[in-house]
Structure 1
Amino acid sequence: MMAQPQRPPPLSDFRRFQTFDVDAARDIVARHFCSHKLQRQSSNDKFDACQHRVSGEHVSLNYLRYGGDVTIEPGELTRFFLIQIPLSGAAEITNGCQAVASNPQTASILNPDRHTVMRWHSGCEQLLVQIDRQFVDDVASRITGMDLGARLRFVPEFRLRQSKANRWMRKLWGMVHAAENGELFGSEHRTSQLYLEEELIVSLLEVQENTASVLLSHETPKSGPAILKRAVDMIHDRLREDFSLIELARHAGTTPRNLQLVFKREMGLTPVQYLQQCRLNMARHLLLARNGDLPVSDVAELSGHRHLGRFSVAYKKRFGESPKATARSRVFC
């Protein structure tokens, strides 16, 4: 039987470099990502670094390998998230206090504000998705309808065998194949490029646990009367402020009684209950995102709660743990 021809790595028409020199590889990769330390762990294996890359508006797709066993220490990435998906081989990643054993079934997501150290073992080849940090924050704010008040962070371990993750991976490979076919990542494709980049981020936010997951999963009306949308927009915009039901109804263009009836019919909640839910969800996001460096009293104030005791009781009732327990959880440390 004849051997099947080996399929070339992704994005092969967009090669940026190939080198056997460690210093040259480090310098070129740093231009595309950030400065970092790169060290070989063995002189016995073959160092053969190669990068393919296409850059869009806020997202770049990359194929990267080093051939040999290497350690990489970029520290904090600062400006971008980096999703690393092994195509072959394995890597060990530490991002902040979280460690990920990465392989073709388990990707890693590097949070920009957490110190990163990695070891790519010999034969590790990865597909890398580089995403501007501000773009992720902006997309999250748009789909929640709220100012997040703190930078978003993901759980670094990204399990690709989950059905939701599979759907996200299909979107990603669709972009890769479109780039290879000349259908994306060019100035003539800017409109579709932006649309697909945003769709990729929305899907990622829905699939992978992050500090704003509680806000993203919050029930918001997809349709319904215009007065409901106006009221919900005002609640989101003025979450941290005090305002009355009369003010809310006036902004929505209806009476307080009718507004309550519409909320009950469309959302199963009163306007006050919806406001309280939004404030508690915001508090949880802040506690997780700030990772305990913000006092609970400040979190209560920033999420629109004026009475610390009542806030703590309501928070525990909704989430099954105290605000202090959430702050100490270190899920996103």
Structure 2
Amino acid sequence: MLSQTGSKTPLERFRCFATSDVDEAREIVARHFCNHRLGRFSASDSFDACQNRVSGQHLSLNYLRYGADVAIEPGELSDFYLVQVPISGAADVRNGCRSMVSTPAVASILNPDRHTAMRWHAGCEQILLQIETGFLQEVAARMAGVSVGQVRFEPEFNLLSQEGAAWARRLRGILGAVEEGRAFQGTGILEQRHLEEALVGTLLEFQPNTVSPLLERQETGKSPAILKRAVKLIGERFADDISLLDISTHARTSPRNLQLQFRQEFGCSPLQYLQNVRLSYARHLLLSEGRGLPVAEVAYRSGHRHLGRFSVAYRERFGETPGATGRAQRFG
């Protein structure tokens, strides 16, 4: 968990505003995020809004409070994801069909294509990580090794889990580096990009999302060059009708040698590896576009030409039918 010490606010030297005027607060916050509704639940509590903000290349770090009990309704964010980490107080958050109570133990992740409405209770103070939609999708595609559709997260992020605590420590370390002038405005272009990629990459790894099935594939960082060439071809052309000979020819080796190397590295044949990639991509499609995408279309787009065999293989791999995955709406 992130914690605040003393009366000093995080990112204090990057102050944007401090005001007791609701309209002024709404207008300035809207410039940095998006148009939204902001209203007070009671005129008797103290409205004491404050925002600190520092921008990087593709994301921004923010400290935000309103002091009073307020309702916030931005609707769909569209252009950015927003990770909200309370450092005090609590907020009721609804993103799409998912509702949650966010506290210093539980962060929230707002998916940009889902309607958002919130209530920040009096005393709620949060660190907000704003991530450009295109940048997150770019990082996700590079990590997965294939093009990806809509990326959608489980909105409730447990900061007390091992993975959540590790990510929170990383965020806390970046905040400290920013305040000491060693990150964001004090960082070179390449170093800043690496920092942003690492923060987004670990979020994709730790927090369940629609790309998670694609990230479970084994890595080939230390594999021989022929394996790297084979895996690259499979990642680029898994939806096509490719054969073992196609793969071995591209990898510049014999089918038998390629079989042996795949068995040694991955414990499966090249065609089994290809099938695993196809099934993982099918699950990604179902998680991200499920209700609006027919199972037959999912099968075709993931390289399966026989619907019945696809359904059987999918159920064996994931323990449920493709239709059940599509209907579940796991990520709002």
Give TM class, smaller chain. Answer: over 0.9
**CA apart distance, 1:187:** 6.7
**CA apart distance, 1:291:** 3.1
- Measure the CA separation in 1 of the matches of 2:32 and 2:233: 41
Superposed CA deviations along residues 70-107 of structure 1, whole A, max 9, x for unmatched, are 00000000010000011100000000000110000001
Query: What SS does the aligned partner of 1:321 have?
Result: coil
The correspondence of residues 1-333 of structure 1 with structure 2, limited to 5 A, is 6-148=6-148, 150-186=149-185, 189-333=188-332
**CA apart distance, 1:188:** 5.0
Is the contact between residue 69 and residue 119 of structure 2 (CA under 8 Å) also seen in structure 1? yes
The aligned amino acid for 1:98 is: R
The aligned amino acid for 1:97 is: C
- Measure the CA separation in 2 of the matches of 1:189 and 1:178: 13
**CA apart distance, 1:222:** 2.5
The aligned amino acid for 2:70 is: V
Is the contact between residue 90 and residue 102 of structure 1 (CA under 8 Å) also seen in structure 2? yes
- Measure the CA separation in 2 of the matches of 1:173 and 1:192: 18
Superposed CA deviations along residues 179-204 of structure 1, whole A, max 9, x for unmatched, are 11111122752221111110001111
Query: What SS does the aligned partner of 1:186 have?
Result: helix
Query: What SS does the aligned partner of 1:228 have?
Result: helix
TM-score when scaled to structure 1?
Answer: 0.97
Is the contact between residue 92 and residue 118 of structure 1 (CA under 8 Å) also seen in structure 2? yes
Instruction: Give unmatched runs, 5+ long, in structure 1.
Output: none
Is the contact between residue 75 and residue 116 of structure 1 (CA under 8 Å) also seen in structure 2? yes
- Measure the CA separation in 2 of the matches of 1:312 and 1:186: 51
- Measure the CA separation in 1 of the matches of 2:230 and 2:182: 41
Q: CA RMSD in A?
A: 1.0
Is the contact between residue 316 and residue 323 of structure 1 (CA under 8 Å) also seen in structure 2? yes
Is the contact between residue 238 and residue 303 of structure 2 (CA under 8 Å) also seen in structure 1? yes
**CA apart distance, 1:6:** 2.2
* Structure 1 outlier segments of 4+, above 4 Å: none
Is the contact between residue 183 and residue 189 of structure 1 (CA under 8 Å) also seen in structure 2? no
Count matched residues.
328
Query: What SS does the aligned partner of 1:305 have?
Result: coil
The aligned amino acid for 1:223 is: K
TM-score when scaled to structure 2?
Answer: 0.97
- Measure the CA separation in 1 of the matches of 2:290 and 2:77: 19
**CA apart distance, 1:244:** 1.5
Instruction: Give unmatched runs, 5+ long, in structure 2.
Output: none
